[in-house]
Amino acid sequence: MEQQEIFVKMALHAWNVQVGRVDKFLSDLSHDDYFKEIAPGKNRIIYLLGHLTAINDNMIVLFALGNRSFAQLDEAFVKKPDKSGEELPSPDIVKNHWVKSNAELTSYFNKMPYSDWFTKHTIMSDEDFVKEPTRNKLSVLLNRTNHIAYRLGQMVLIKS
C-alpha cells in the first residue's frame, strides 16, 4: 500500500468508527430521548445531532466537492444555541439528515484521489499552505472526527 493510501485509510477508518458509534447510540433511542438534556440545563440530543450534521456537511464546501445538502440546519443548530426558541425539525427528520449526510460524505470521500486529501482546504490561502502543509483536507477530517467523539461523549450521558 502506498503511504498516502495508508494514511487516508487510517483517517477514514477513525472517522467511520465515530460515525458508527453515533449510529449505534441512535439505534435504540425513543422519540422522547431526543428531547433529553445531556446534563441539567445543557444541550439536548436533537440539538447535538443536528449540530454534528451541519458541521460535517460543511466539509463539502471546505473540500470543494460540491454544494452543501444541509445548510438549512445552520440557523438552528450552529448559529443559535439549543433552546433558543428557533423551531427544530422532528427527531425523525434530524436523524434522517444525519444518515443521509454520512452516506453522501462517504460517497464523496471514496471518490477523492488519495493525493487530494493532502491539498489545502478552501478557507486557507496559498501562502499559508506553503508554510504549513499539515493544514490540509485530511487534517480537517481528523478535527471533525474528534468533534464527533466530543459530542458523542456528551450524548451517551442520557443512558443509565
Site residues (vs a second copy, CB under 8 A): 1, 3-4, 6-7, 9-11, 13-14, 17-18, 38-42, 118, 133-134, 136, 138-139, 142-143, 145-147, 149-154, 157, 160
Identity of the amino acid at 133: P
Minimum Å gap between C-beta 150 and a second copy is 4
**Residue closer to a second copy, measured from CB, 93 or 157:** 157
Give the C-alpha separation, 94 to 90, whole Å. 6
Q: How far is the CB of 155 from a second copy (least distance, A)?
A: 9
* Contact (CB, 8 A) for 101 and 69: yes
Q: What is the spatial distance between Cα 151 and Cα 48, in angstroms, rounded to a whole number?
A: 7
Q: What minimum distance in Å lies between the beta carbon of 92 and a second copy?
A: 25
Cβ closer to a second copy: 6 or 93? 6
DSSP string, 118-155: GSBPTTS-HHHHHH-TTSBHHHHHHHHHHHHHHHHHHH
Min separation Cβ 19 and a second copy, Å:
12
DSSP-derived 3-state class of residue 37: strand
C-beta of 71 vs 78, nearer to a second copy? 78
Residue closer to a second copy (CB basis): 66 or 153 = 153
Of 68 and 138, CB closest to a second copy: 138
Q: Helix, strand or coil for residue 149? A: helix
Strand partners, 120: 136
The three three-digit cell numbers of residue 29, written as one number: 433511542
Least distance from a second copy to the Cβ atom of residue 25, Å: 12
